[in-house]
Structure 1
């Protein structure tokens, strides 16, 4: 069997030390047990590109969007046919240009877009992966196995269709939130800043602000490239600007005709397009997120990490509360900023407020002393 088509190919990563390069390395080494080699265009000379091309059975380009097509061209010229029979892939947020460059090679070609920042989890479970299998034959079985192990929701799509969709899914959404941030930056200081707006928040404002802050806390180059490197974004932005201008003009006009025109175009026509079933599902989803946010804002909770994740672990943890007659208001599983899975257990506020401080301390000690879990935090429970 050709070594490159075996179950254990050598994986090469161009951009090994970038955010996704590091995540991919861990995935291939720890999840799939594969050997990973690589090179980083940002100054890493440990493995020269010509050696990477020679050694890698699977070569993945994980570089900034603006640089990826150029890098692929360089590697195609460098390989000069030696890539025949191997698999080359990329993991950028645009697909048409990278895949077109990959197809200039003699390798089998797949374009990938994990539609999430590199997660803190070992897989992409619960996330979407766009897959553009442009030229895949001998590597099909291995590719299917790899995608299955990512646990992502894989969506097969043509590169051009992907980029048109991303103009709406990413480009338009990011643009709206960046513009909102710009407006908030101008107007919020006169109201006392973000901290004075927060007490008056709605669920919609809180969700929007969460997305905005996520964007602003990320790598600016990624959001810049999503706007500038996808040619389908500009028409979407033009149309977005026109819709905002339409609304602004009607609000400035401020008469009954303006109100009717605004409602007809921006509410009634769009509601008809989305359709009643989608609107009902969206409204229900919004309410669920509102309940979740309310739970997460509750000041009385314990955040507990369960080191031994096996059947019965959660039951043992809950038994500690049961034995002490403590009611639970909510329970949610999530991850800490370091990626550690934990349970956020909301407690009945009235009951907790009536508990002596020593009982709360005993509860925390019991959880930790019995080896059930480690209490990470407990806002509102520590009282003097």
Structure 2
């Protein structure tokens, strides 16, 4: 029998923990995070983590370049490296520039979080940007078997769509939160749904918010157009 594929997760924040919980039954899994320890999963240092068959980078975007520089000399030929950042153009550029030519690369963005996927992955979606190699095909098949919808895209197209999908969601959510407690007693169904959507992103980390609103090169333009339209509507009424 061939040995099970090894997978390491570098970064054990909320999303890294979510990945570990769902993938540990299927792969020989280890985790690497100097700040967060797992009591029941094998711990690895960055060099050990880099030697896995699949290396998942679950670190905030500002930390990604440093992690890539550390692991690059230790990656095995044919290893698959995949990131899970909320933007894709910058991680894709960094991975292509800093990782050796003998590793395969996927830029991905799981379109769910620890709260929405608390009860499983089935029915959720993941944006999938293959950058180098063919190993992404087998991994995509595996993810589909877990119930995920795998959406092929490019880093640029991803960031263009996420500038609206995430950029405006977080902008509206932050604006609503600054209005103070939202009314509930006479809330309509549409308002309740808006408040629920805003609440889903209220606990996102400042690092994630900065990535979504600043690191996406298309976000500022979308934000400006939205605010201009809102101002125009307000002027009309």
TM-score (norm 1): 0.55
**SS of corresponding position for 1:68:** helix
Whole-Å separation in 2 of the counterparts to 1:150 and 1:92:
21
Q: Which residue of the other structure, out of 93, 97, 102, is the alignment partner of 2:90? A: 97
Q: Which residue of the other structure, out of 205, 211, 222, is the alignment partner of 2:197? A: 211
Whole-Å separation in 2 of the counterparts to 1:174 and 1:25:
26
Considering Cα pairs closer than 8 Å and 6+ residues apart, tell me whether 1 or 2 has the greater RCO.
2
1:161 aligns with 2:154: no
Whole-Å separation in 1 of the counterparts to 2:106 and 2:130:
4
Q: Which residue of the other structure, out of 24, 40, 46, is the alignment partner of 1:29? A: 24
| Cα RMSD after superposing both structures | 2.3
Whole-Å separation in 1 of the counterparts to 2:47 and 2:132:
23
TM-score (norm 2): 0.86
Say if 1:73 and 1:101, in contact at 8 Å, map to a contact too.
Answer: no
Question: In structure 2, what is the equivalent of residue 128 of structure 1?
Answer: 125
Question: In structure 1, what is the equivalent of residue 226 of structure 2?
Answer: 240
**Greater helix percent: which structure?**
1
Question: In structure 1, what is the equivalent of residue 170 of structure 2?
Answer: 174
Whole-Å separation in 1 of the counterparts to 2:69 and 2:217:
20
Say if 1:60 and 1:91, in contact at 8 Å, map to a contact too.
Answer: yes
Whole-Å separation in 2 of the counterparts to 1:240 and 1:70:
35
Question: In structure 1, what is the equivalent of residue 35 of structure 2?
Answer: 42
Give the Å deviation of 1:148.
1.9
Question: In structure 1, what is the equivalent of residue 10 of structure 2?
Answer: 14
Question: In structure 1, what is the equivalent of residue 111 of structure 2?
Answer: 115
1:198 aligns with 2:198: no
Which one has the largest radius of gyration? Answer: 1
| Structure 1 residues 228 and 70: CA distance shift in structure 2, 3 A | farther
1:60 aligns with 2:53: no
Whole-Å separation in 2 of the counterparts to 1:181 and 1:23:
27
Instruction: Encode CA deviations 1:340-371: one digit per residue, 9 max, x unaligned.
Output: xxxxxxxxxxxxxxxxxxxxxxxxxxxxxxxx
Say if 2:13 and 2:36, in contact at 8 Å, map to a contact too.
Answer: no
Question: In structure 2, what is the equivalent of residue 284 of structure 1?
Answer: none
Say if 2:56 and 2:82, in contact at 8 Å, map to a contact too.
Answer: yes
Give the Å deviation of 1:7.
7.3
Give the Å deviation of 1:110.
0.9
Give the Å deviation of 1:114.
0.7
Say if 2:169 and 2:198, in contact at 8 Å, map to a contact too.
Answer: no
Whole-Å separation in 2 of the counterparts to 1:173 and 1:216:
10
| Structure 1 residues 154 and 24: CA distance shift in structure 2, 3 A | same
Give the Å deviation of 1:73.
3.5
Instruction: Encode CA deviations 1:266-308: one digit per residue, 9 max, x unaligned.
Output: xxxxxxxxxxxxxxxxxxxxxxxxxxxxxxxxxxxxxxxxxxx
Task: Give 5+ residue unaligned stretches, structure 1.
Answer: 186-192, 252-384
Written as runs of structure 1 = structure 2, the 5 A alignment for 1:1-384 is 8-15=4-11, 17-30=12-25, 32=26, 34-42=27-35, 46-54=43-51, 56-76=52-72, 78-79=73-74, 82-104=75-97, 105=99, 106=101, 107-118=103-114, 119-122=117-120, 124-137=121-134, 139-140=135-136, 142-182=138-178, 184-185=179-180, 194=182, 197-251=183-237
Q: How many residues align?
A: 228
Give the Å deviation of 1:150.
2.8
Whole-Å separation in 1 of the counterparts to 2:172 and 2:80:
38
